[in-house]
């Protein structure tokens, strides 16, 4: 073999080695190796869809979090908050209607997460929200449904019926002579119930579930219960005392504070919303609210739920967890108490001297809820049956 041919083969061999080394290096790069982290200095965007009752607290926490410039693996974390009612968000998850899938979701209650996850699992065969492990849905605050009524109205109802519950409210709603029949001032007219619009606020649906629970005297409601003609007649009489529900906003307690008696005499609303508006009601209407707790308690646990779909990266999911941990810190949980929310951090209590729970104790607010019977979360069929009944019988009024 002459020298020229030897040099030719040596050049070919070197070229093959160089190409081989390049292919190996490329295969080990971040783009083709799921284990290797993507190298980037871009901020990690965490988009959190948040239930309306806690939006103010979450927004304040997110702004402070961003100001403190938290990082993960050297990348800045930026949190943005998208306020959205729980039912609206559930419908968007069900129909895949989000323009940009959120990194995390904080709905009003855990059952909404379970319903969204069930729909995705049925459609795609996988979970998108987890129930265990590091990424599991985790409550970050608590609140519950409670009765809030103007003091004068509550005094008259309690004098006649002995207690405030859905049966008392129903009897007040159908009193043919209005408030004079109930021992109240004739100038008050007829009893007016405050209920959030179920199509704008998950609280409206929760109110109907709670009413059904007291009607049947049990904490779990079935489709058969909802479609019972006698119950539907009772519920229609009850909801007939709601003023202009088709125009009701998502912020019922706030409307209660701003518009006073024209909105209603009282109703079952979220305790945190009541606490946030107690001062405004007392100052504006000179008739402070009183709060009473129902037999069957409806709890809202606001679970921080990380989206596990491929639409968000592992780094974004982990960044969401960093914000979740921040919300559970003592300082941020103390801020939650200031918004009328009950903390989930065991080191934080609601009976701080400057908390709304202490301020409105004389109005009936209690730091420990003695009622232990909790309404069970309705399934999708029950929710749809109630919403269908509402659309056909109440929404068009």
What CATH number is attached to the domain comprising 75?
3.40.190.10
Residue 297 structure tokens: 């308690």
Does the residue 100 lie in any domain? yes
Are 234 and 86 found together in one domain? no
Are the C-beta atoms of residues 88 and 57 closer than 8 Å to each other? no
Range 342-351 burial, b when 16+ CB lie within 10 A, else e:
bbbbeebebe
Side-chain half-sphere CA neighbours of 9 within 13 A:
5
Among residues 2, 23, 3, 75, the alpha carbon closest in space to that of 44 is found at: 75
Question: In which residue are the tokens 């929310």 written?
Answer: 341
Are 180 and 83 found together in one domain? no
Consecutive H or E run containing 282: helix 271-285
Does the residue 64 lie in any domain? yes
Residue 322, judged by CB atoms within 10 A of its CB (0-12, 13-18, 19+), counts as middle
Does the residue 283 lie in any domain? yes
Are 273 and 251 found together in one domain? yes
Tell me the C-alpha distance between 265 and 22, whole Å. 76
* 3 state SS of 166: helix
Question: In which residue are the tokens 């109005």 written?
Answer: 363
pLDDT at 25: 47
What is the number of structural domains in the chain?
A: 2
CB neighbours (10 Å) of residue 41? 7
Are 313 and 282 found together in one domain? no
One pLDDT digit (tens) per residue for the chain, 397 residues? 555 555 544 445 544 545 454 544 455 444 444 334 445 689 999 999 999 999 999 999 999 999 999 999 999 999 999 999 998 999 899 888 898 999 999 999 998 999 888 888 888 888 899 988 999 999 999 999 999 999 999 999 999 999 999 999 999 999 999 999 999 999 999 999 988 888 778 888 888 999 999 999 999 999 999 999 999 999 999 988 887 554 555 567 788 788 888 888 999 889 999 999 998 888 888 888 999 999 888 999 999 999 999 999 999 999 999 999 999 999 999 999 999 999 999 999 998 888 999 999 999 999 988 766 788 888 889 988 998 998 888 866 5
Q: What are phi and psi of 91, to 5 degrees?
A: -65, -35
Are 189 and 255 found together in one domain? yes
| β-pair type (193-194, 266-270) | parallel
pLDDT at 273: 92
Are 215 and 243 found together in one domain? yes
Does the residue 36 lie in any domain? no
Q: What are phi and psi of 304, to 5 degrees?
A: -80, 115
Does the residue 315 lie in any domain? yes
Question: In which residue are the tokens 């809820």 written?
Answer: 369
Tell me the C-alpha distance between 308 and 165, whole Å. 41
Are 290 and 314 found together in one domain? no
Question: In which residue are the tokens 């100038």 written?
Answer: 187
Are 115 and 223 found together in one domain? no
Are 79 and 216 found together in one domain? no
Tell me the C-alpha distance between 83 and 52, whole Å. 6
Are the C-beta atoms of residues 43 and 76 closer than 8 Å to each other? yes
- String of DSSP letters for 325-364: HHHTSHHHHHHHHHTTPBPSSTT--S--TTSHHHHTGGGT
Give the range of the structural domain holding residue 229, as residue numbers without chain letter.
143-298+364-393
Among residues 149, 134, 137, 202, the alpha carbon closest in space to that of 179 is found at: 149
Are 85 and 230 found together in one domain? no
Does the residue 171 lie in any domain? yes
Rounded to two decimals, the pTM is: 0.84
Residue 98 structure tokens: 């989000």
Residue 153, judged by CB atoms within 10 A of its CB (0-12, 13-18, 19+), counts as buried
Residue 339 structure tokens: 């918004």
pLDDT at 19: 46
How do the residues of the chain divide into helix, strand and coil, expressed in percent and rounded to 5? 50, 15, 35
Question: In which residue are the tokens 């909105």 written?
Answer: 263
Residue 351 structure tokens: 């009976």
Tell me the C-alpha distance between 270 and 10, whole Å. 81
Are the C-beta atoms of residues 291 and 154 closer than 8 Å to each other? no
Are the C-beta atoms of residues 316 and 322 closer than 8 Å to each other? no
Does the residue 23 lie in any domain? no
Question: In which residue are the tokens 């209650």 written?
Answer: 109
Tell me the C-alpha distance between 359 and 277, whole Å. 12
Tell me the C-alpha distance between 134 and 84, whole Å. 25
Are 112 and 205 found together in one domain? no
Are 271 and 379 found together in one domain? yes
pLDDT at 371: 62
The CA-based angle 363-368-373, given to 5 degrees, is 105
Among residues 388, 394, 390, the alpha carbon closest in space to that of 243 is found at: 394
């Amino acid at each position: 073999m002459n020298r020229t041919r030897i040099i030719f083969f040596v050049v070919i061999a070197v070229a093959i080695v160089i190409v081989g080394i390049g292919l190996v290096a490329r295969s080990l790069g971040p783009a083709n190796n799921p284990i290797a982290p993507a190298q980037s200095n871009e901020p990690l965007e965490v988009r959190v869809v948040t239930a309306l009752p806690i939006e103010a607290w979450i927004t304040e926490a997110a702004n402070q979090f961003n100001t403190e410039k938290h990082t993960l693996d050297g990348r800045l974390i930026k949190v943005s908050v998208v306020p959205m009612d729980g039912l609206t968000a559930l419908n968007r998850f069900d129909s895949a209607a989000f323009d940009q899938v959120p990194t995390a979701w904080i709905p009003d209650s855990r059952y909404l997460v379970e319903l969204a996850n069930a729909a995705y699992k049925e459609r795609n065969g996988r979970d998108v929200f987890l129930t265990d492990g590091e990424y599991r849905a985790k409550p970050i605050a608590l609140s519950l449904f409670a009765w809030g009524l103007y003091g004068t109205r509550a005094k008259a109802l309690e004098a006649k019926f002995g207690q405030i519950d859905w049966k008392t409210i129903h009897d007040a709603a159908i009193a043919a002579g209005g408030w004079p029949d109930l021992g109240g001032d004739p100038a008050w007219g007829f009893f007016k119930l405050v209920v959030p619009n179920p199509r704008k606020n998950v609280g409206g649906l929760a109110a109907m579930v709670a009413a059904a629970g007291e009607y049947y005297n049990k904490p779990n409601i079935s489709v058969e219960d909802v479609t019972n003609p006698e119950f539907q007649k009772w519920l229609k009489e009850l909801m007939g005392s709601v003023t202009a529900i088709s125009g009701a906003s998502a912020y019922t307690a706030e409307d209660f504070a701003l518009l006073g008696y024209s909105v209603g005499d009282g109703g079952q609303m979220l305790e945190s919303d009541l606490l946030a508006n107690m001062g405004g009601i007392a100052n504006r209407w000179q008739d402070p609210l009183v709060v009473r707790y129902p037999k069957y308690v409806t709890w809202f646990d606001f679970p921080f739920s990380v989206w596990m779909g491929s639409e968000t990266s592992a780094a974004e999911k982990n960044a969401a967890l960093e914000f979740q941990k921040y919300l559970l810190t003592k300082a941020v949980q103390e801020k939650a108490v200031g918004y009328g929310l009950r903390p989930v951090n065991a080191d934080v209590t609601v009976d701080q001297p400057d908390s709304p729970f202490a301020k409105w104790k004389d109005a009936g607010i209690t730091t420990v809820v003695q009622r232990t019977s909790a309404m069970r979360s309705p399934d999708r069929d029950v929710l749809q049956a109630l919403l269908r009944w509402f659309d056909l019988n109440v929404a068009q009024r």
